[in-house]
């Protein structure tokens, strides 16, 4: 079955760049999206269709997807970016959705 793997945690200093990876078999052939989730809140879409930002999402959030890895990049990370991040992809061969394992981003 299709699986998406993320690093459990990423630490970043304020103002620096955080990169979160999401790995899956031939993920680059599918579209990936990314969610930010803060404690007690619903997940919020920050990137869809690999690199597109929904209205209201800051430009410091960007995405890419190639080969077996999708990447969410947070440039100029701020304290308010501290959250859990999940990738999501749709497996066209099975028409099923799969979430990544999740990454906790800590802004030190």
Partner 1 sequence: QVQLQESGPGLVKPSETLSLTCTVSGGSISSSYWSWIRQPPGKGPEWIGYIYNSGSTNYKPSLKSRVTISVDTSKNQFSLKLSSVTAADTAVYYCARLLRYFDWSPGGAFDIWGQGTMVTVSS
Residues of this chain that bind partner 1 (CB under 8 A): 1, 30-31, 33, 35, 42-45, 48-49, 54, 84, 86, 88, 90, 92, 95-102
Q: What is the CB neighbour count within 10 angstroms for residue 19?
A: 14
Closer CB to partner 1, 24 or 100, in the complex? 100
> Alpha carbon of 29 to those of 78, 86, 104: distances in Å?
32, 19, 26
CB nearer to partner 1: give 16 or 94: 94
The residue written with tokens 């066209």 in the block is 92
Query: Which CB sits closer to partner 1, 16 or 34?
Result: 34
């Amino acid at each position: 079955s299709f699986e998406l793997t993320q690093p459990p945690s990423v630490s970043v200093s304020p103002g620096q760049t955080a990169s979160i990876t999401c790995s899956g078999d031939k993920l680059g052939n599918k579209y990936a999206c990314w969610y930010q989730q803060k404690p007690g809140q619903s997940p919020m879409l920050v990137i869809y269709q690999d690199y597109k930002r929904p209205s209201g999402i800051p430009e410091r959030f960007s995405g890419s997807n190639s080969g077996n890895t999708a990447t969410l990049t947070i440039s100029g990370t701020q304290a308010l970016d501290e959250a859990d991040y999940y990738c999501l992809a749709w497996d066209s061969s099975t028409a099923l959705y799969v979430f990544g394992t999740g990454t906790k981003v800590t802004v030190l």
